[in-house]
Amino acid sequence: MDISKKDMESYHRLLSRIQERSKSTFSHLVEAGLKANPNMDDGEFLKLVGNSMISTTLSFGDAAGTVALDFFDDAIGIPSKNTDLVKLPYFVNDKIRERVTQYAQNNEIKSGDFKEICGNLVASEVLQQANRTISKAGARNGMKFARVPQGGECPFCAWLASFGFHYTEKGANSHYHDHCRCKVVAGKPGTKVGGYQPELIRSRFKEVADSIGLDVNNAKDKKAILEECARRDSDWLNGREPRVSFTSKAVRDDILTNHKDEYESAQRMIKVGMPCCFQQDFRTYRDGKEEKRVGKADFTKGLELKVLKNTSSFNTIDGYLKNTSRKEDCTWVVFDNSINPDMTDVQLEENILKSKRFKAGRIYYLGHDMKIHFVR
């Protein structure tokens, strides 16, 4: 029993549309309530928001569950029953009201941001109704479950996805967060889902753990490994093909024309999971009548790149770290030593450790073995 990538993508698109419609419906309900009673106080408004969220989640959650049953019938190939459609759990109502109160403490309640946050929670809970329905139908048929990522995953979701068809009905739905796009899919050990490679995801976690000297199988190391994974490229971590990207066309043209060494290095680094999105590496500001520049990291996420070619001295490494420490958004740096014939990886590590520069940041290198190594 295998599930095609086409079927999985179609299922994802259908649920995404339902989620978007749920957000717009929630927004319209709140606007209609305000129009009917424009002078309502804050307490009345928050009650309106909570009630609108719950009613929207109820109706669109049923729609998402119906789509899930169609997917179960067609893609998984086992007949579902109407009784598999899960009713919205009572704890979701309580969760929504608690979240509305929390959001109100940190936001202007009649602002667009507040409504957007609440709408995102509605969309998240609508999706979970589809996941709960799949789980109920699958459990009735003695199946196991996988958490299949759909892009934009956090490291924790990727970690859950790495175990494949491992979860029980309860386990499959026990961990999710706002904005979570992961789909619970029913199957059996050995079931294949197009585009989903749990073994590869697991190997990526091991690669990250190895790069910082930790054990992927040691529960005590899990938190540090997940923190490190948050620095890495999400597509790479989840077994997809990562790409070098640019924040604008102007940045792209500049890199491809004037910084070809950095672009070639980025192509090497993206293959081992470093997030390579080039940004403009400076910003300008006015100091009186004079325009000045302050340096920024080469990549988003505060990542600086130093390409080593014919580099052999400590002074060069020390100078690079001095330059890196002056960049306002830089929190980590990678030395690409992979094609440098004049310095071994051991020598590079010694020079980095010898330097007193960039003490507040993290320092890595891409070695001659084409692997990422953390130094300090």
Q: Read off the pLDDT of residues 256-304 as tens digits, 9 standing for 90 and up.
A: 999 999 999 999 999 999 999 999 999 999 998 899 999 999 999 999 9
Residue 1, pLDDT > 80, answer: no
Q: What mean pLDDT is reported for the chain?
A: 96
* Single pTM value for the model: 0.89
- In this structure, the strands spanning 282-287 and 277-278 are unpaired
Residue 57, pLDDT > 80, answer: yes
Helix, strand, coil shares, percent, the chain, to 5? 55, 15, 35
- For the stretch 21-42, pLDDT in tens is 999 999 999 999 999 999 999 9
Residue 152, pLDDT > 80, answer: no
Residue carrying the six token digits 């400590």 = 314
Residue 111 Cα distances to 31, 100, 103, 114, 189, angstroms: 12, 13, 11, 5, 48
What mean pLDDT comes out for the span 85-99? 96
Q: State the Cα–Cα distance between residues 145 and 64, nearest whole angstrom.
A: 18
Name which of 247, 255, 275, 269 is nearest 336 in CA terms. 269
Q: Which fold has domain 245-374?
A: Trna Endonuclease; Chain: A, domain 1 (3.40.1350)
Two structure tokens written together for 66: 């119906």
Identify any residues that bridge with 374 across adjacent strands, giving them in sequence order: 364
Q: State the Cα–Cα distance between residues 134 and 76, nearest whole angstrom.
A: 10
Long-range contacts of 211-218 (CB under 8 A, 24+ apart): 211/364, 211/371, 211/372, 211/373, 211/374, 212/374, 213/374
Q: State the Cα–Cα distance between residues 299 and 1, nearest whole angstrom.
A: 43
Alpha carbon 195 to its chain's center: 17
Q: State the Cα–Cα distance between residues 164 and 369, nearest whole angstrom.
A: 30
Decide if 351 contacts 320 (C-beta within 8 A). no
Domain with CATH 3.40.1350 in the chain: 245-374
Identify the helix (H) or strand (E) that includes residue 49. Answer: helix 42-71
Name which of 62, 70, 60, 74 is nearest 20 in CA terms. 60
What mean pLDDT comes out for the span 134-160? 93
Say how many C-beta atoms besides its own lie within 10 A of residue 277's C-beta: 18
Residue 53 Cα distances to 19, 84, 152, 230, 305, angstroms: 12, 24, 24, 31, 46
What mean pLDDT comes out for the span 307-328? 97
Residue 153, pLDDT > 90, answer: no
Residue 260 CA neighbour count, 13 Å, CB half: 1
pLDDT confidence of residue 174: 84
